[in-house]
Structure 1
């Protein structure tokens, strides 16, 4: 068996955000948000449609959105590219989701909590060994939790997860293993297959169950991600070879501009800015002179 990579936008939303994914998403969120406890009894997936098959691929951010049974709004994002100001974007999206709940004339009492769950294919917090990090508002000195603590940020850093199959103990372990290693597996591990929702996730991810058009779309998206990861990594390495901080920054900037020019025919300005770190205004300027 060959499984599609759940880190790409098409696969991620097909597995967790499609119309048949309700039980899968419920198990996934219980595992990563509530440490495997069955807190979420029901949910409603918002906009359960796959990304459109378009020429310009947008793999800089991958979202699934759901209403939980307690009216909490959950935003789930799989981020594969370590782009500039990504942490700010996570906070912005969570705050925007929280604020945009209100219609004109509605009171603040109508606001419901927001949980932003972000899975990254890179390290967000290099000074921490934790695979899962949870952030809420607290008082700096006493650590007192803010009364209306309605926005929670949860990060899962896949590179920090190093458990082997035999070491998988919890539902959380098994879902993280699925996210990190599904693409490289040739069969479903028995220890994971006994969980109905994970079994269903593997079934959806099995390439045998994809149409030729779906498989082609997936392969193009995965190749795009690998290309950009390689290009960004090369740019940073070439910058470092300058030997001094000024040279590093200049080398990285020159490579970012070169990558931007390559992406202009394929992506919109916002997506290019998120990948390369070049401002939207400068991307637009490059587009006008390209």
Structure 2
């Protein structure tokens, strides 16, 4: 029977990658994404998952904050939508995490790297096929490295297409992307057979725990509903924006035909759909009266 728990729901995502009792999963994930010559051996969770905290704050941000055994500061999150100003927000988080290390009397050389990893269920950079995007300080032309002190990594899940069943998945990042995309609809045994690592047996076990524990399932379902409601809200806003856009074009055309200055786009956008509809109807009436006259 399929696991039935979606690991891209942030509650499940943090259970898998933000629990001290399953720190080996976080280490495996970080080594896959960062792919450094220095292998991470351990992590310290700075905001471990606490049921009590979550129950008291249903809108809690379930990111994962940790420090690795080299002292680097890490923030891992999943986004099921593409919020506005995402690059700016990620930059702010990483910069704040870096600056926040500084204490009186401390030297710049004592600061450790600050790294943000954002898993996206949307595509922010459709112009490139890369699933994993790695942003750091580099010169534009010569490719010279200034610093790795600030890093932002994006994993754009929709770009990944799993190979045929008889083709092994060997890339560490692809294994995690496959798990995040497919675990809900597979069994633990199928995942292990496909990915060839016991790591994913443990990860699947965390999802199974959520599925069979009534309180865990309740918290997961509540978070899933919140996630779906947010997506519906964004879809409705997008649909309204498209509808407004259609009205804007027609209104400005009618104003032009009437020989009057066209209304500023920003002013029209500030109006409700009902107001735009009424304005269009009034302009059409005036145009008809003019033509009849």
TM above 0.5: yes
| Residue aligned with 1:20, SS | helix
Could you tell me whether the CA contact under 8 Å between 1:10 and 1:50 is conserved in 2?
no
Could you tell me whether the CA contact under 8 Å between 1:3 and 1:202 is conserved in 2?
no
Give distance in 2, aligned partners of 1:254 and 1:179.
40
**2:150 is the counterpart of 1:151:** yes
| Residue aligned with 2:225, SS | helix
| Residue aligned with 1:47, SS | coil
Tell me: CA distance 1:228–1:3, structure 2 relative to 1, closer, same or farther (3 Å). same
Could you tell me whether the CA contact under 8 Å between 1:11 and 1:205 is conserved in 2?
yes
Alpha-carbon offset, residue 119 of structure 1? 0.5
Give distance in 2, aligned partners of 1:82 and 1:253.
25
Match of 2:75?
Answer: 75
State the structure with more CA Rg.
2
Give distance in 1, aligned partners of 2:5 and 2:142.
47
Alpha-carbon offset, residue 43 of structure 1? 2.1
**2:13 is the counterpart of 1:12:** yes
Match of 2:184?
Answer: 183
Match of 1:226?
Answer: 228
Alpha-carbon offset, residue 22 of structure 1? 1.0
**2:98 is the counterpart of 1:98:** yes
Match of 2:203?
Answer: 201
Any stretches of 5+ residues in structure 2 without a counterpart? 250-264, 274-293
Tell me: CA distance 1:132–1:104, structure 2 relative to 1, closer, same or farther (3 Å). same
**2:120 is the counterpart of 1:116:** no
1:129-278 → structure 2 map (5 Å cutoff): 129-146=129-146, 148-164=147-163, 166=165, 167=167, 168-187=169-188, 188-192=190-194, 194-207=196-209, 210-244=212-246, 246=248
Q: TM-score, normalised by structure 2?
A: 0.76
Tell me: CA distance 1:143–1:252, structure 2 relative to 1, closer, same or farther (3 Å). farther
Could you tell me whether the CA contact under 8 Å between 2:44 and 2:67 is conserved in 1?
yes
Give distance in 2, aligned partners of 1:29 and 1:80.
20
Alpha-carbon offset, residue 190 of structure 1? 3.8
Cα deviation digits, residues 206-238 of structure 1 (max 9, x gap): 156642111111001101111211221122023
Could you tell me whether the CA contact under 8 Å between 1:43 and 1:67 is conserved in 2?
yes
Tell me: CA distance 1:5–1:237, structure 2 relative to 1, closer, same or farther (3 Å). same
Alpha-carbon offset, residue 99 of structure 1? 0.4
Alpha-carbon offset, residue 178 of structure 1? 0.9
| Residue aligned with 2:138, SS | coil
Alpha-carbon offset, residue 2 of structure 1? 2.3
Match of 1:127?
Answer: 127
| Residue aligned with 1:227, SS | helix
Give distance in 1, aligned partners of 2:242 and 2:217.
38
Per chain length, whose mean CA-contact separation is higher, i.e. which structure has more relative contact order (CA < 8 Å, sep 6+)? 1
Q: TM-score, normalised by structure 1?
A: 0.77
Give distance in 2, aligned partners of 1:99 and 1:208.
37
Alpha-carbon offset, residue 170 of structure 1? 2.1
Any stretches of 5+ residues in structure 1 without a counterpart? 256-290
Give distance in 1, aligned partners of 2:270 and 2:162.
34
Match of 2:59?
Answer: 58
Give distance in 1, aligned partners of 2:112 and 2:271.
41
Give distance in 1, aligned partners of 2:186 and 2:230.
24
Could you tell me whether the CA contact under 8 Å between 1:236 and 1:251 is conserved in 2?
no
| Residue aligned with 1:149, SS | strand
Could you tell me whether the CA contact under 8 Å between 1:2 and 1:207 is conserved in 2?
no
Normalized per residue, the structure richer in helix is 2
